[in-house]
Amino acid sequence: MELILTEDQELLAKTAADFVSEHSPVSRVRKLRDAKDPVGFSKELWKQMAELGWLGIPFPEVVGGAGLGFAELAVVLEALGRTLAPEPFLSTVLLGGQVLLLGGTEVQQKEWLPPVVNGDCILTAAYQEPQTRYDLRRVATRADRKADGWRLSGEKIQVLDGHVADALVVVARTSGGEHDAKGLTLFLVRKGAPGLEITRQSRVDSRNAALVKLSGVAVGPSEVIGAVDEGGDLFENVVDRATVGLCAEMLGSMEEAAASTFKYLKTRVQFGVPIGSFQALKHRAARMYIELELSRSTVMAAARAVDEDHPELPKLASLVKARCSDAGILIANEAIQMHGGVGMTDEYDVGFYLKRARVAEITFGDASHHRDRWARLSGY
Amino acid sequence: MAELETFRRETRDWLLKNAPPDIVGLPANDLEGNWGGRRATYAVPGMKTWLLRMAERGWTAPSWPKEYGGGGLAPGEAKVLSQEMTRLRLPPPLIGFGLTMIGPTLLQYGNEEQKREHLGRICRGEIRWCQGYSEPGAGSDLASLQTKAVRDGDDFIVTGTKIWTSYADKADWIFALVRTDPAAKKQDGITFLLIDMLTPGISVRPILLISGKSPFCETHFESVRVPVRNVVHKINAGWTVAKSLLGHERSMIADAFGGAGAGQRTARLSALASLARERLGDARGQIADPVLRDRIALEDMDTRAFGFTVQRAKDGAKAGHRPGPESSIFKVYATELNMRRRELMVQTLGPSGIGWEGPGFTESDLETTREWLRSRGNSIEGGTSEVQLNIIAKRVLGLPD
Ligand SMILES: Cc1cc2nc3c(=O)[nH]c(=O)nc-3n(C[C@H](O)[C@H](O)[C@H](O)COP(=O)(O)OP(=O)(O)OC[C@H]3O[C@@H](n4cnc5c(N)ncnc54)[C@H](O)[C@@H]3O)c2cc1C
């Protein structure tokens, strides 16, 4: 793999940066939050992103996609991360979309992927449960076999964009006990299905999440994605890819939090000099920069590993997530500290970055979880 | 691409045919290995043959121009050569400050005569170099150096003391910073001089390090006569040359401590992890101490992330991008990685890690302990970490003075 941007990728980065600065300032996130917006993001912008071809980046041309890869997707997600754009990339393109891409039948892909690419359909994955923490295989939600298919029962938490999703990929147990790695199956559940109850949740970053209660929700055989009992591996692969995408977004957020802090260091005057002339702050700023650059390298490497179907992808996904989780928190914490009192105010934007950094850290597992996984995958 | 693959095949064939068997598996980093020089010693007999054969092909300095003894390889080819050497577990035929520091500097700033005189001898491993920068009163504030050079016809007369001169006792030539204009602003009165260590008036006193070894020295100059033609670049313009060389030095240090090839996949267990499994045992397939295991994972992961960062810079350079700001972090981060690794190794050894010498400790445990002590210098030599952070803050982030 080559760790540089091609000319086309540079161009895409520039288009994305321009689009974001014109249409998606952080003030937009603030407005959505303060208005308790019922959708939680802008459907109009989502449609525009589709028109720019972004939603189709990682999908093949047969479903209307661009046939590109995560190297390109990462470039766009990084730009979106810079201003904390809340559009449903993670849920729709990276979770639901990737499940269908990797595990869906041709019929399923034809039904769902073109509308995803066109921006007409929101997908998500319901996998986390109250007791799951970061163990993707720890699933209590049951799928009971009936003559005409299955009945799903259980409770999922923090389902991204759950309340606006047109369909959810539900991870449920078709055999084995709660702690078994095997025996999981992925089901597609359409919104409005009888027995499906969705309640919006509110998290610190004010992005969309929902509780999903399944009370005997009926799903037919055609709604199974991938093989019965074999969904665990498929879903872990999808989460590895989604993790890489999330990290690209985290990288963008870190960049912006760091950049605004560096700017503040040059302009805020105390004791008659810019505070950036104090070495105690300079060195910490340099440390932020180092962490940022190392994060960037790992995001680039991991995105290319997805595109190359690299056998080390699981390790690299853990590498990039551990790194971006720690670096994201470090940078956001330092951003607040170096802004002083104003950094603590709701009126100022840095707080939004800290909140998002925390949520992103916890999503798909924090740094210590991923170090443990890395060590396990490395044989120690 | 097809040409590169042909090059790869031919390179592999040539290496297989020409590498003496006794060098396979010798350390392949920039700190251990064959330093060459007038008084060269070789770890194994094959090393000398290896040096001669590789030098003849220009492959001791693969990317230097052929006319000066290098291999004339394009960056892509040089990468292939190094990959193939790694694959076959072949150590570099030659290491040292000639190849990593003064050579690249002469290529940039030397005149034709200097390039012809010195580069070939470096490539063939005939001359070993040392670095005369630091002085008792001039460390981080290098530009305040006082060793003076007074013009006398076609010569300079050099008088003063350099300190912490690594391997001055083994080197044949020294590149030194001297003050030629005491009246000018401190950066503007410095000249970059090449000095043969056999010149009368030079004396060298080795200094013992906390590790018990003495790789560095005090180097004293008492009215040492140096021809003016040994000035690199211009008189009083040595600071520019000095900074450029520091750039080469810092990337050499970064390469030595985990930069080179660390982005590549390593199939085997990291050295740290296997040491820990061996010493602590494992519980259900995992290193028995979960805290140490977490720290080892962090170290391994950071090493990998750093390797990707070095690779990014190299891929960028290959594509013709100017060196990006990311290279400024190499020195700090690479040395810290190495220092953390050395500490973790000693902590993993536990009671076996605190031996100095003698019975009850194995040779390799003692070596680990000494290496840990030596590594404390990594964040000092070549410009301290604090100074690197100053540079990042100023040059990269543009923070005010
Ligand atoms: C193993 C080893 C090998 C070496 N080999 C060579 C060699 O071959 N040739 C050679 O010329 N030199 C060599 N050196 C010298 C090395 O370059 C110097 O030691 C180094 O530049 C620091 O200078 P100093 O020792 O005078 O420390 P000082 O400059 O006195 O620094 C003392 C402390 O103050 C800090 N400090 C100083 N200035 C600042 C500042 N502006 N901001 C914040 N903190 C600051 C430093 O970071 C350090 O922590 C070697 C050193 C070591 C340890």
pLDDT, tens only, A206-243: 999 999 999 999 999 999 999 999 999 999 999 999 99
Inter-chain touch A283–B389, beta carbons under 8 Å: yes
Residue B165 Cα, ligand 1 centroid: separation in angstroms? 12
Would you kindly state where each structural domain of chain A is located, as residue ranges?
7-121, 125-228, 233-377
pLDDT at B333: 94
Contacts of A265 (CB under 8 A, 6+ apart): A274, A275, A276, A281, A285, A338, B397, B399
Contacts of A251 (CB under 8 A, 6+ apart): A78, A81, A292, A295, A296, A299, A324
B164 C-beta closer than 6 A to ligand 1: yes
CATH, range A7-121: 1.10.540.10
Inter-chain touch B308–A298, beta carbons under 8 Å: yes
Superfamily of domain A233-377: Butyryl-CoA Dehydrogenase, subunit A, domain 3 (1.20.140.10)
Residue B246 Cα, ligand 1 centroid: separation in angstroms? 13
Query: 3-state DSSP: chain B helix, strand, coil percent, rounded to 5?
Result: 50, 15, 35
Tell which wins on pLDDT, B58 or B267.
B58
| Domains contained in chain B, number | 3
Q: Are B109 and B243 in contact (CB under 8 A)?
A: no
| Residue of B164, B221, B390 to mutate, ligand 1, most atoms within 8 A of C-beta | B164
**In the 8-state DSSP scheme, what is residue A203?**
-
pLDDT tens across B119-142, in order?
Answer: 999 999 999 999 999 999 999 999
Rounded Cα–Cα distance for residues A223 and A189 (Å): 7
Does residue A158 come out as left (phi exceeding 0), alpha (psi in the -120 to 50 range) or beta? left
B4 part of contact set with chain A, CB < 8 Å: no
Tell me: pLDDT of B260 over 70. no
Q: Which domain holds residue B358?
A: 242-396
- Beta pairing, strands A273-274 & A269-270: antiparallel
Q: Give the CATH number for residue B177.
A: 2.40.110.10
Inter-chain touch A3–B392, beta carbons under 8 Å: no
Domain check: are B308 and B172 in the same one?
no
Tell me: pLDDT of B261 over 70. no
For residue B320, the chain A residue with the least C-alpha distance is A4
Domain check: are B375 and B262 in the same one?
yes
Q: Which residues of A touch B312 (CB under 8 A)?
A: 3-4, 296-297, 300
pLDDT tens across A234-289, in order?
Answer: 999 999 999 999 999 999 999 999 999 999 999 999 999 999 999 999 999 999 99
Q: Are A41 and A88 in contact (CB under 8 A)?
A: yes
CB pairs under 8 A between A and B: 140
ipTM of the complex: 0.96
Tell which wins on pLDDT, B320 or A86.
A86
Domain check: are B287 and B339 in the same one?
yes
Confidence of residue B265 (pLDDT cuts 50, 70, 90): very low
Of the partner residues A286, A318, A376, the one whose CB lies closest to the CB of residue B397: A286
**In the 8-state DSSP scheme, what is residue B30?**
S
Return the minimum-mean-pLDDT range out of A84-88, A253-257, B213-217.
Answer: B213-217
Inter-chain touch A266–B398, beta carbons under 8 Å: yes
Ligand 1 nearest atom to the CA of residue B142, by list position: 21
Q: Which residues of B touch A254 (CB under 8 A)?
A: none
Residue B115's identity, in one-letter code, is K
Q: Which two tokens stand for residue A56?
A: 């189709």
Residue B174 inside a domain? The answer is: yes
pLDDT at B319: 84
Superfamily of domain A125-228: Butyryl-CoA Dehydrogenase, subunit A, domain 2 (2.40.110.10)
Residues of A with CB under 8 A from a CB of B: 2-4, 262, 265-266, 273-274, 276-277, 279, 281-283, 285-287, 289-290, 293-298, 300-301, 312, 318-319, 322-323, 368, 371-372, 374-376, 378-380
Inter-chain touch B400–A276, beta carbons under 8 Å: yes
Residue among B349, B140, B153, B334 nearest B246 (CA): B140
Domain check: are B272 and B140 in the same one?
no
